[in-house]
């Protein structure tokens, strides 16, 4: 049996720099891995059946990325192994923090170990990108500068700041955003150096705030809680989670306390940015 983390990520910036002939958008983004996320338990079982349970029973479906990842790995390797999977869900659905993609990656990495398949990280990432553009960054397990559709990764070393991540209880449709006429699709191409220096923005943010008044209101409310020890509120990915980067865990805790006191309807958590994923560290200890 294996118990593995499935950590969250933030997009510290996200530029849409063009549209490809296949209809996908070309992106540039800075992925920050966090030390907070879901937990996946994998237990070998006889036969080839794949069984999934979840702390949220509504998510234990054949379409869940965990189930799809296990089936994709079976298909790619012609293995007849089976597995029981249990997902303890902590990350919000559709929040832009990579919950589903990270669950998918932890399944691929974990089953590669449990089933003794001996696939390389490159091979697992190639399987993962067919399931979701954000899956490879979790498979590889490091904070990264990303291009392409988000799968062309360059490792980066980021300061390990503390973040307050807030979900306002609103679901954002990524597909609808990508197809929206107001979305900016031709931001000038940037560089790793400028992104690491703190330049950049999230091209989704203006459209999300225009389409979802509740998220726009949350931006304004959270901005009132930030002070000298925190940076401006930003959107992660295509939303709807927002994040506040702080200079210390104490500053982050104070902001979190204020959110709980003043806006109890929001889901919020603290997390520290890390450069290496807890998935790979945890698996190395169990190997």
For 47, the enclosing helix (H) or strand (E) is none
End-to-end Cα separation, the chain, in angstroms: 11
Q: What global pTM score does this model have? A: 0.95
pLDDT score of 190: 95
And the tokens for 210?
């225009």
Of 13, 24, 31, nearest to 190 (Cα)? 13
130 is catalytic: no
Q: What are phi and psi of 143, to 5 degrees?
A: -65, 145
pLDDT score of 222: 97
pLDDT score of 66: 98
pLDDT band for 156, please (50, 70, 90 cuts): very high
pLDDT score of 285: 79
Alpha-helical (H) ranges within the chain are: 65-77, 99-114, 121-129, 135-140, 174-178, 192-196, 205-211, 213-223, 249-262, 278-286
CATH 3.30.230.10 fits 1-287, yes or no: yes
Residue boundaries of the structural domains of the chain: 1-287
Q: Which of 9, 38, 103, 245 is catalytic?
A: 9
Q: How confident is the model over 261-278, as pLDDT tens digits?
A: 999 999 999 999 999 999
Q: How confident is the model over 115-153, as pLDDT tens digits?
A: 999 999 999 999 999 999 999 999 999 999 999 999 999
Q: Which residues on adjacent β-strands are paired with residue 52?
A: 85
For residue 94, pLDDT over 90 is answered with no
Q: Which residues on adjacent β-strands are paired with residue 162?
A: 246, 272
Q: Which long-range contacts (CB under 8 A, 24 or more apart) does 216-220 make?
A: 218/166, 218/168, 218/242, 218/263, 218/266
Q: How confident is the model over 220-259, as pLDDT tens digits?
A: 999 999 988 899 999 999 989 999 999 899 999 999 999 9
And the tokens for 123?
């091979």
- In order, the DSSP letters of 192-237 are HHHHHTT---BTTHHHHHHH-HHHHHHHHHHHTT--TTBPPPEE-T
Please give the Cα distance from 124 to 114 (Å, whole number): 14
**Cα torsion 60, 61, 65, 67: sign:** positive
Calculate the alpha carbon distances from 41 to 2, 83, 114 in Å: 6, 10, 11
285 is catalytic: no
Q: Which of 103, 134, 203, 245 is catalytic?
A: 134
| Beta carbons within 10 angstroms of residue 183's beta carbon | 17
pLDDT score of 287: 63
Average pLDDT on 36-51 reads 96
Average pLDDT on 170-197 reads 92
Please give the Cα distance from 228 to 31 (Å, whole number): 25
Q: What are phi and psi of 225, to 5 degrees?
A: -90, -15
């Amino acid at each position: 049996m294996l118990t593995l983390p499935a950590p969250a990520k933030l997009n510290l910036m996200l530029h849409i720099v063009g549209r490809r002939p296949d209809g996908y958008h070309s992106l540039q983004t800075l992925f920050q891995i966090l030390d907070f996320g879901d937990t996946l338990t994998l237990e070998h079982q006889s036969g080839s059946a794949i069984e999934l349970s979840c702390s949220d029973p509504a998510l234990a479906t054949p379409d869940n990325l965990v189930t799809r990842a296990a089936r994709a790995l079976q298909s790619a390797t012609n293995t007849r192994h089976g597995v029981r999977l249990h997902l303890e869900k902590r990350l919000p659905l559709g929040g832009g923090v990579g919950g589903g993609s990270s669950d998918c990656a932890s399944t691929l990495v974990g089953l590669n170990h449990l089933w003794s398949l001996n696939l390389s990280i490159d091979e697992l990432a190639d399987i993962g990108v067919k399931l979701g553009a954000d899956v490879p960054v979790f498979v590889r397990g490091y904070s990264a500068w990303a291009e392409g559709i988000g799968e062309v990764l360059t490792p980066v070393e980021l300061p390990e700041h503390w973040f307050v991540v807030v979900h306002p209880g609103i679901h954002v449709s990524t597909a609808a955003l990508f197809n929206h006429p107001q979305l900016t699709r031709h931001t000038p191409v940037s560089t790793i150096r400028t992104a690491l220096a703190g330049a950049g923005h999230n091209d989704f943010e203006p459209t999300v705030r225009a389409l979802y008044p509740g998220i726009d209101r949350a931006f304004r409310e959270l901005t009132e809680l930030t002070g000298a020890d925190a940076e401006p509120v930003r959107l992660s990915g295509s939303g709807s989670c927002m994040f506040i980067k702080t200079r210390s865990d104490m500053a982050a805790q104070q902001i979190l306390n204020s959110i709980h006191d003043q806006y109890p309807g929001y889901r919020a958590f603290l997390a520290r940015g890390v450069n290496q994923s807890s998935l790979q560290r945890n698996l190395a200890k169990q190997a």
